[in-house]
C-alpha cells in the first residue's frame, strides 16, 4: 500500500522535472541566435505609411521569435486611431508576421472650429471613433499621408451642420448625439439610396436631413427604423419621379412634394 501511494508522487516528480528541463532549454534557446528574426511581414496597413509603422513598431536588434515582445508590438500599434486590432504571429524559422485590422472611414464630418467657426474635415470611423483631421492634399502634411486616406475621404458621405462646440480628438469616440445619429443612418442604409446620398445634415437628431445627388431633400429624423424609412423613400421616388422633398420622420405618415 505504501509503494502504491508513492507512485503518484514519483509521476508528479517526473512531470515537474520535464517541465523544468523544458523551461531551461527554452530560456537557453531564446537567448541564442536560434530563430533570429530576419523578416518582418506587416499586412493591412493601408492608411499608415511605412514611416508611421516604423515609428510604432520597433524590433530590437538580435530579437528572436522566442523572445520578441509580441504584446508590446500590439500595444504600440493599437495606440494609432486607425488600428482596431493586431495579430502577431511567429512564422518559423525567421519571420515575424504582423496583421493589422484597420478601422474604416464611416463619414467625413464638417466640424466648425474656433471663434470663426472654420470648417475642418474630420474622418469618423464606422464605430464612431475620431480618426484624424484631413488636411489639404497639397499641404506639406497632406503629401506625407497615405493616398488611401484621401481615396476614402473622397468616397465617404459628408455630415454637415455639425453643432458648434463639438470637439473631435484623435482616438476618442464621438459623443455628440446629432453626429452619432447621422452616422447610424449612414451605416444603416443598404439600397441604392445609400449610393445617391450626397450629404447628411446633423443639426440635431430630429432634424437630420439627407440631400441626394439629384438634390432631392429627405427629412429623415432619427436613425430609428432606417430600413423602413429607406424603403418608403425608394417607393415614393419610384412612383413620383418629379419629387423634390420627402418627409419620413414619422414613417407611418410620410409626406412628399413634387417640383
Q: Which domains does the chain have, with CATH numbers?
A: 35-102 (3.10.20.310), 105-258 (3.40.50)
Which residue is it, cell 486611431? 81
Q: Is omega for the bond preceding 93 within 30 degrees of 0, making it cis?
A: yes
Q: What is the mean pLDDT of residues 69-97?
A: 97
| pTM for the predicted model, two decimal places | 0.84
Give 165's DSSP letter.
Answer: T
Quote the pLDDT of residue 218.
98
Quote the pLDDT of residue 118.
96
Locate 200 and state its grid cell: 447628411
Residues 78/89/98/43 CA torsion (nearest 10 deg):
-130
Bridge partners (DSSP) of residue 78 are none
Separation CA 30–CA 112 (nearest Å): 54
Q: Edge-to-edge strands of the sheet including 83-91?
A: 39-43, 95-102, 83-91
Contact (Cβ atoms closer than 8 angstroms) between residue 159 and residue 130: no
Among 3-7, 97-101, 221-225, the range scoring the smallest mean pLDDT is 3-7
Residues 101/107/113/116 CA torsion (nearest 10 deg):
150
pLDDT in tens, 10-25: 655 566 655 664 445 4
C-alpha distance from residue 169 to each of 128, 131, 158, 173, 175 (Å): 12, 8, 18, 8, 11
pLDDT in tens, 21-52: 444 544 545 455 679 999 999 999 999 999 99
Tell me how many degrees the CA angle 42-43-45 measures, rounded to the nearest 5: 100
Separation CA 179–CA 223 (nearest Å): 11
Tell me how many degrees the CA angle 232-236-239 measures, rounded to the nearest 5: 135
- On the question of pLDDT at 153 being above 80, the answer is yes
Residue ranges of alpha helices (H) inside 90-165 are: 140-144, 147-155
Give 94's DSSP letter.
Answer: T
Amino acid at each position: 500500500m505504501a509503494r502504491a501511494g508513492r507512485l503518484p508522487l514519483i509521476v508528479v516528480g517526473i512531470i515537474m522535472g520535464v517541465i523544468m528541463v523544458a523551461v531551461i532549454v527554452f530560456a537557453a534557446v531564446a537567448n541564442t541566435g536560434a530563430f533570429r528574426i530576419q523578416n518582418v511581414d506587416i499586412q493591412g496597413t493601408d492608411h499608415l505609411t511605412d514611416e508611421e509603422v516604423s515609428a510604432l513598431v520597433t524590433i530590437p536588434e538580435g530579437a528572436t521569435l522566442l523572445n520578441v515582445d509580441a504584446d508590446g508590438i500590439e500595444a504600440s500599434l493599437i495606440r494609432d486611431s486607425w488600428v482596431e486590432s493586431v495579430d502577431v504571429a511567429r512564422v518559423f524559422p525567421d519571420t515575424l508576421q504582423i496583421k493589422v485590422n484597420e478601422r474604416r472611414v464611416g463619414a467625413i464630418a464638417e466640424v466648425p472650429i474656433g471663434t470663426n467657426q472654420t470648417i475642418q474635415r474630420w474622418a469618423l470611423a464606422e464605430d464612431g471613433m475620431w480618426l484624424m483631421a484631413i488636411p489639404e492634399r497639397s499641404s506639406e502634411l497632406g503629401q506625407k499621408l497615405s493616398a488611401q486616406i484621401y481615396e476614402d475621404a473622397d468616397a465617404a458621405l459628408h455630415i454637415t451642420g455639425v453643432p458648434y462646440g463639438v470637439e473631435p480628438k484623435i482616438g476618442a469616440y464621438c459623443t455628440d448625439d446629432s453626429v452619432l445619429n447621422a452616422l447610424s443612418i449612414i451605416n444603416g442604409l443598404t439600397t441604392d439610396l445609400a449610393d445617391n446620398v450626397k450629404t447628411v445634415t446633423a443639426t440635431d437628431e430630429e432634424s437630420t436631413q439627407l440631400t441626394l445627388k439629384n438634390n432631392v431633400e429627405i427629412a429623415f429624423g432619427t436613425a430609428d427604423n432606417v430600413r423602413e424609412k429607406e424603403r418608403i423613400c425608394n417607393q415614393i421616388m419610384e412612383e413620383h419621379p418629379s419629387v423634390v422633398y420627402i418627409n419620413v420622420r414619422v414613417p407611418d405618415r410620410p409626406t412628399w412634394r413634387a417640383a
